[in-house]
């Protein structure tokens, strides 16, 4: 269902490698129908015209179709298509992170009742085998944290800003020219895509129903090349992180740009690559790294799921994981986060300014780790100062920043980024 970039990759793999794939699963794999919106737009496709249809029922209600691959995207009408397919007793493979983030637990419960498979490896991390690992190889672990870079578009943009000191808009334009960013990049640069993916990983890792609304989200559009310059001077890289942690049953999930030490494994993940670091009580720290997007990587994940289902057709259906709607513990708000912070402020270049700022921060229980003065402007009589703090509570930091920004001697609080050690 769907013959876009990834859909055409899957269709081509099925058509051109039919013999190879059939040997691997010990049964014949045949592409029977492909749902498209307008067949005339696919006249140059490798898919024979007689396999194209504009009617979803031709696929959903065909008793000779055993596996349906959904690669349309979005939530409607795809959620209805997936419910129809599962109810009809068909096995399903999907790459749809939005549907699985918002409706995955309900669809998995339905698949369990209907005794069919619903696999979604391609919904997170492209070619990285992270979903299956959380459901199978790592299932014996009590997962303590998931720290990840799971959006290739934003990682490419931040890599351009870090190495070439490009501004955000310039780096975004380059990403669009290279085909890494959509014409409307909102879903990526404002963190929606990463939030969908993190909610899937956190739900699987913590065996809890965690939706995208449970994930704190902050985008990258406000980052400035100066932040990357100062990060490097302070020994950090800036990455767009998706983090979920569990402590005594309480879960906190967040997506935002953050400082991380330059020697951390995630700091070395550049370009459109993705990485997911899992920490479990048995496995310790495990890092998954690879291409997180693109036709070939996503096709690989989709085809892996298709072949897993095909290989086991006719066998007792493995139990599908069901995520309970509620369990002990809570979803912690971002205000409860405790970490170090980086602040960049434009202030009046006069004595006593730092003392006023430090006084407000101190009253909020926030102690300073370092202070650097940068870029004094003699004509405007202003200076830029960079502050890092010791660990502090987010709610206290936000309240203190509100007071700091109201000081007459503070022109602007230009940037606030969290430091993830």
Residues designated catalytic? 197
CA distance 242 to 97: 15
Q: How far apart are CA 181 and CA 245, in angstroms?
A: 29
Give the full edge-to-edge strand order of the sheet including 67-70.
67-70, 91-94, 118-119
Structure tokens at 420: 């993830």
Residue 307's CB is within 10 A of a number of other CB atoms, namely 17
Structure tokens at 67: 């596996």
Strands 91-94 and 118-119 come out as parallel
Question: Which neighbouring-strand residues pair with 67?
Answer: 91
Contact yes or no for 312/29 (Cβ under 8 A) = no
Separation of alpha carbons 280 and 8, rounded Å: 37
Residue with tokens 């002990």: 328
Q: Encode burial over 168-180: b for 16+ CB neighbours within 10 A, e otherwise.
A: beebbebbeeeeb
Cα diameter, the chain: 80
Closest CA to 219 of 250, 191, 183: 191
**CB atoms < 10 A from the CB of 218, how many?**
18
The backbone torsions φ and ψ at residue 95, rounded to the nearest 5 degrees and listed phi first, read: -110, 15
Q: Is 44 helix (H, G, I), strand (E, B) or coil?
A: coil
Residue 322 vs residues 104, 110, 173, 209: alpha-carbon distances, Å: 9, 9, 42, 9
Residue length, the chain? 421
């Amino acid at each position: 269902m769907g013959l876009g970039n990834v859909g055409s990759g899957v269709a081509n793999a099925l058509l051109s490698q039919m013999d190879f794939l059939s040997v691997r699963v010990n049964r014949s794999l045949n592409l029977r129908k492909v749902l498209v919106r307008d067949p005339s737009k696919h006249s140059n496709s490798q898919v024979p015209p007689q396999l194209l249809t504009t009617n979803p029922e031709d696929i959903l209600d065909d008793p000779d179709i055993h596996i349906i691959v959904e690669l349309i995207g979005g939530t409607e009408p795809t959620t209805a298509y997936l419910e129809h397919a599962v109810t009809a007793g068909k096995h399903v493979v999907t790459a749809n992170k939005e549907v699985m983030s918002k409706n995955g637990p309900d669809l998995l419960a339905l698949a369990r009742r209907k005794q069919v498979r619903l696999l979604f490896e391609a919904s997170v991390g492209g070619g990285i085998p992270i979903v299956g690992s959380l459901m199978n190889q790592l299932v014996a672990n009590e997962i303590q944290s998931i720290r990840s870079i799971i959006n290739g578009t934003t990682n490419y943009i931040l890599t351009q800003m870090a190495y070439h000191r490009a501004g955000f808009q310039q780096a975004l334009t380059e990403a669009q020219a290279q085909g890494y960013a959509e014409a409307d990049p909102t879903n990526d640069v404002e963190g929606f895509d990463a939030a969908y993916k993190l909610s899937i990983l956190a739900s699987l890792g913590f065996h809890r129903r965690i939706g995208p609304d449970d994930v704190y989200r902050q985008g990258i559009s406000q980052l400035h090349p100066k932040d990357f310059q100062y990060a490097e001077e302070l020994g950090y890289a800036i990455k767009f992180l998706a983090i979920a942690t569990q402590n005594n049953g309480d879960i906190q999930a967040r997506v935002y740009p953050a400082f991380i030490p330059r020697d951390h494994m995630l700091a070395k993940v550049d370009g459109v690559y993705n990485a997911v670091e899992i920490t479990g009580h048995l496995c310790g720290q495990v890092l998954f790294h690879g291409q997180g997007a693109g036709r070939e990587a996503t096709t690989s994940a989709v085809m892996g799921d298709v072949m897993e289902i095909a290989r086991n057709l006719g066998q007792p259906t493995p139990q599908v994981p069901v995520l309970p709607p509620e369990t002990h513990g809570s979803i912690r708000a971002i205000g409860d986060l405790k970490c170090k912070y980086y602040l960049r402020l434009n202030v009046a270049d006069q004595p006593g300014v730092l003392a006023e700022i430090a006084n407000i921060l101190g009253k909020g229980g926030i102690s300073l780790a370092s202070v650097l003065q940068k870029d004094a402007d003699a004509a405007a009589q202003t200076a830029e100062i960079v502050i890092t703090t010791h660990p502090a509570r987010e709610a206290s930091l936000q309240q203190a920043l509100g007071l700091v920004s109201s000081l007459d001697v503070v022109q602007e609080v230009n940037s606030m980024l969290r430091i993830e050690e």
